[in-house]
């Protein structure tokens, strides 16, 4: 049974951080939607560092909630402890520790305890940003009007569509979307994808859970990211997910790089 439609939306969290000669304006928000009784996404926009994460719990039980909370707390703790060192080493250590802790909280439970993670942290000098990716949440970058997906979905659907096993709009692809190949809490403790990307003034970044990317198409994403401010872009994106039916929790972080002159 569908839940009563919800249109309420909390005000986006907004932070500004200086990195070299670039100021990052970061806004983040989340909505429950109309399918689940609670929000099993976890949003973090750091108050002190140029750093943000989106996490999506798997399922709608206590294992999902515990996985999301544990993963977020662990990654935030490790990134803050390593600062100002930023790069593959700290991110690898942070995600590995998150794997260990999520597995530990899930061990005594007889239910799935896992979550996705997409994180972005900028280097102190503003030269580049680092991304960490596990699962099917996503990171996009819009530069000079071109919106690009920079992360890979760790799902059977991604592999199947990429290699032509079935069409993107087929029933097989729909079922395979829910077969995650890598996530936090996985028994094999898979590594995160790590990516370093040069940062340029004028760039706009989007981190989002699949509640956004599955309900808002490419052209609409691009249009909403062109909003006057990141906070407005977040509001517009989340409203679009509700207009599309609100079939999942939806979380978005929008980051815009401003040149200081």
pLDDT in tens, 117-129: 999 999 999 999 9
Per CATH, domain 13-259 is 3.20.20.70: no
Report, as ranges of residue numbers, the positions in the chain whose pLDDT lies below 70: 1-8, 261
**Boundaries of every domain in the chain:** 13-259
Rg (CA), the chain: 17
Per-residue model confidence as pLDDT tens digits over 208-221:
999 999 999 999 99
Contacts of 175 (CB under 8 A, 6+ apart): none
Strand 51-57's sheet: what is its strand order?
41-45, 51-57, 115-122, 128-134, 193-198
Gap between the terminal Cα atoms of the chain: 55
pTM of the predicted structure, to 2 decimals: 0.95
pLDDT at 6: 58
85 phi, psi to nearest 5 deg: -70, 125
Contact 67, 83 (CB under 8 A): no
């Amino acid at each position: 049974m569908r839940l009563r439609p919800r249109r309420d939306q909390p005000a986006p969290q907004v932070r500004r951080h200086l990195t070299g000669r670039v100021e990052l304006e970061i806004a983040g928000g989340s909505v429950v939607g109309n399918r689940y009784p609670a929000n099993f996404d976890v949003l973090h926009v750091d108050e002190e560092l140029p750093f943000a994460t989106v996490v999506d719990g798997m399922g709608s039980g206590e294992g999902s909630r515990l996985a999301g909370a544990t993963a977020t707390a662990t990654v935030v703790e490790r990134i803050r402890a390593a600062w100002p060192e930023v790069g593959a080493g700290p991110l690898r250590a942070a995600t590995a520790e998150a794997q260990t802790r999520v597995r530990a909280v899930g061990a005594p439970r007889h239910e799935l305890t896992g979550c996705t993670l997409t994180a972005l942290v900028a280097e102190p000098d503003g030269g580049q940003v680092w991304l960490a990716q596990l699962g099917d949440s996503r990171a996009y970058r819009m530069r000079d009007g071109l919106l690009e997906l920079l992360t890979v979905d760790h799902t059977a659907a991604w592999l199947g569509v990429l290699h032509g096993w079935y069409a993107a709009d087929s029933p097989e692809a729909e079922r395979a979307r829910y077969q995650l190949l890598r996530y936090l809490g996985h028994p094999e403790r898979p590594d995160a994808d790590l990516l370093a990307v040069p940062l340029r003034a004028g760039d706009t970044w989007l981190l989002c859970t699949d509640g956004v990317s599955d309900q808002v198409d490419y052209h609409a994403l691009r249009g909403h990211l062109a909003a006057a401010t990141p906070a407005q872009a977040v509001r517009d994106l989340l409203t679009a997910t509700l207009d599309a039916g609100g079939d999942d929790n939806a979380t978005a972080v929008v980051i815009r790089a401003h040149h200081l002159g």
